[in-house]
Amino acid sequence: MVSRVSGDVVTDVLRPAGALDGWAGRFAALPDSVTLLAEPFHAMVDVRTADPAALERLVGAPLPGPNAWSGGERVTAIWLGPDEWLLTSPFLSPAELEGAARETGAAALPDARLAVVDVSAQRTTVRLRGAHARDVLETGCAIDLLPRSFGAGSAAVTLLGQSGVVLLGLGPSDYRILVRSSFAAYLAEWLLDAASEWR
Amino acid sequence: MQLIHCPWCGPREEVEFHYGGQAGVAYPADPAVLSDEEWARYVFVRDNPKGRFEERWSHSAGCRRWFTAVRDTVTYRFER
Ligand SMILES: [Zn+2]
């Protein structure tokens, strides 16, 4: 990011550009019952391993099984497949997260075989909250989103509208949506359109 | 819409899946000795039963894993 101060060019700390930078105004026009927020940059690292226990210390919890996520604010692990997880962190840089996965994995289980790849540029993150958040998702997602089957800790790699997404349940009426950057504008338009019913 | 049971993710809508044709078509042990006709049979010719059919499916919009399922080609019903 470059900012101009009285004619001089001053280079600030570089901040990754988000695919939904510039959408805040349209998101802000939504009612409180459906709020959308383009979340700050999350580092994301794809891990493939047969030894998920090697990463428990980094995540702070056992790595999740199918259709679930685990971990905390610092590092989250999302199940993508039987030997594949997505680690995300809003606090670590992509290089730090990738390095931490390699180092803690090797320290915990020296024989563990891990494939660790930085995929931070692949997806961007949207937060959907409010009393009608689930109603909005249900207009374009076939997953059973009733709280009894999709609550806090649930995750699904699925379709929302015509776009592939990773959908995380954070709490009642609180969801995080990971969408590929090139689909982000489409999904934002889709969500705004779906939310218009509850305006 | 029809639900297909992914062995990892559970029941998902059929649009999340990609069809992979007949299951259990073995790669020739020694492809170099096949005649053109035998190679063409391996590449193109598949069973087309009326009824029970073992098929490859990929959960392409979900876990992206391949699995084998048995489907009835008359009713479209999947065996579990
Ligand atoms: Zn699946």
Distance A113 CA to ligand 1 centre (A): 23
Chain B nearest CA to A125, separation (Å): 18
Confidence of residue A15 (pLDDT cuts 50, 70, 90): confident
Range of the domain at B16: 3-79
Of residues A18 and A39, the one with the higher pLDDT is A39
d(C-alpha B51, C-alpha B42), whole Å: 22
Span A93-122, pLDDT tens digits: 999 999 999 999 999 988 888 999 999 999
Per-residue pLDDT for A8 more than 60? no
Exposure string for A98-118, b = 16+ CB within 10 A, e = fewer: bebbeebbeeebeebebebeb
Confidence of residue A3 (pLDDT cuts 50, 70, 90): very low
Span A59-87, pLDDT tens digits: 999 999 999 999 988 999 999 999 999 99
Contact A157 B61 (CB under 8 A): yes
Contact B63 A164 (CB under 8 A): no
Question: In Å, how far are A86, B29, B80 from A55, measured between CA atoms?
Answer: 12, 40, 34
Provide the domain count of chain B.
1
Contact B16 A159 (CB under 8 A): yes
Q: What is the per-residue pLDDT for A13?
A: 75
**Residue A80 forms beta bridges with which residues?**
none
CATH at residue B31? 3.30.2270.10
Q: What is the per-residue pLDDT for A73?
A: 82
Domains along chain A with CATH numbers: 1-40+122-199 (3.30.1360.120), 42-119 (3.30.70.1520)
Q: What is the per-residue pLDDT for A14?
A: 76
Distance A32 CA to ligand 1 centre (A): 34
Q: What is the per-residue pLDDT for A2?
A: 46
The 10 Å Cβ neighbour count of residue A7 is: 5
E strand or H helix that includes residue B69: strand B66-72
How long, in residues, is chain A? 199
Chain B nearest CA to A165, separation (Å): 9
B63 and A157 Cβ atoms separated by less than 8 Å: yes
B6 and B71 Cβ atoms separated by less than 8 Å: no
Span B23-47, pLDDT tens digits: 999 999 999 999 999 999 999 999 9
Task: Using CB atoms within 10 Å of the CB of residue A44, give its burial: 0 to 12 exposed, 13 to 18 middle, 19+ buried.
Answer: buried
Entry pTM: 0.91
Q: What is the per-residue pLDDT for A11?
A: 62
Contact A158 B63 (CB under 8 A): no
Nearest CB to A159; choose among B9, B10, B15: B15
ipTM for the complex shown: 0.89
Q: What is the per-residue pLDDT for A10?
A: 61
Name the strands in the sheet holding B52-58, side by side, starting at the edge strand that comes first in the sequence: B18-22, B52-58, B66-72, B78-79
Span B2-16, pLDDT tens digits: 999 999 999 999 999
Span B48-71, pLDDT tens digits: 999 999 999 999 999 999 999 999
Longest dimension (CA), chain B: 46
Q: Which residues in B lie closer than 8 A to residue A156 (C-beta atoms)?
A: 9, 62
